[in-house]
Amino acid sequence: MNKLIVFLLGFVALNAGANELFAKADLPAGKALHEKNCIACHASSYGGDGSAIYTRDFAKVTNAKGLITQVRNCNTNLGLKWFEDEELNVAAHLNQTYYKFEK
Identify whether the C-beta of residue 84 lies closer than 8 Å to the C-beta of residue 3: no
Residue whose C-alpha is closest to residue 66's, from 30, 96, 34, 95: 95
pTM for the full predicted model: 0.80
Q: pLDDT of 57-79, one tens digit each?
A: 887 899 999 999 999 999 999 99
92 φ, ψ (degrees, to nearest 5): -65, -40
Q: pLDDT of 32-60, one tens digit each?
A: 999 999 999 889 888 888 888 888 888 78
Identify whether the C-beta of residue 94 lies closer than 8 Å to the C-beta of residue 54: yes
Cα–Cα distance, 86 to 91 (Å, whole number):
9
